[in-house]
Structure 1
Amino acid sequence: MWQEHADVLEWWLTIPAFLRWNGVCCLGMDVCQVKADAELSGRGINPDDYQKLKSIASVMAEELNQRE
């Protein structure tokens, strides 16, 4: 686990539709879902956390797409 991403990973785990899909291909982070979750939950988004989420999504998409 990336310790510097612990808070963001906890946030990511609470977002039901964090990733976008096209069939079996993962397209990466669903920015609209992340934004909606942050707004509806009252979570403040800072640029650093957003960049960390993007990094997690990129790694996840790459790993998931390699499995297909």
Structure 2
Amino acid sequence: TDQNKRYVMVVGEDNKAAYREITLGGTANGQRIVTSGLKPGERIIVNGLQRVRPGTLVAPQVASAS
């Protein structure tokens, strides 16, 4: 969080990382629900965040659905 805002790192079509502000809702099956700020199918960075900065070129990999 930054000043009480919530962010995720998304991967753009150019495979560059960018911050995206999101709004969180409740939980379902132990997972938080993102109520705004992301569109279906957008890719987010879940591993290696400490090495990524906005504008960094990344090599995305598809995570398993489990």
Taking structure 1 as the reference length, the TM-score comes to 0.25
Of Structure 1 and Structure 2, which has the larger fraction of its residues in strand? 2
Taking structure 2 as the reference length, the TM-score comes to 0.26
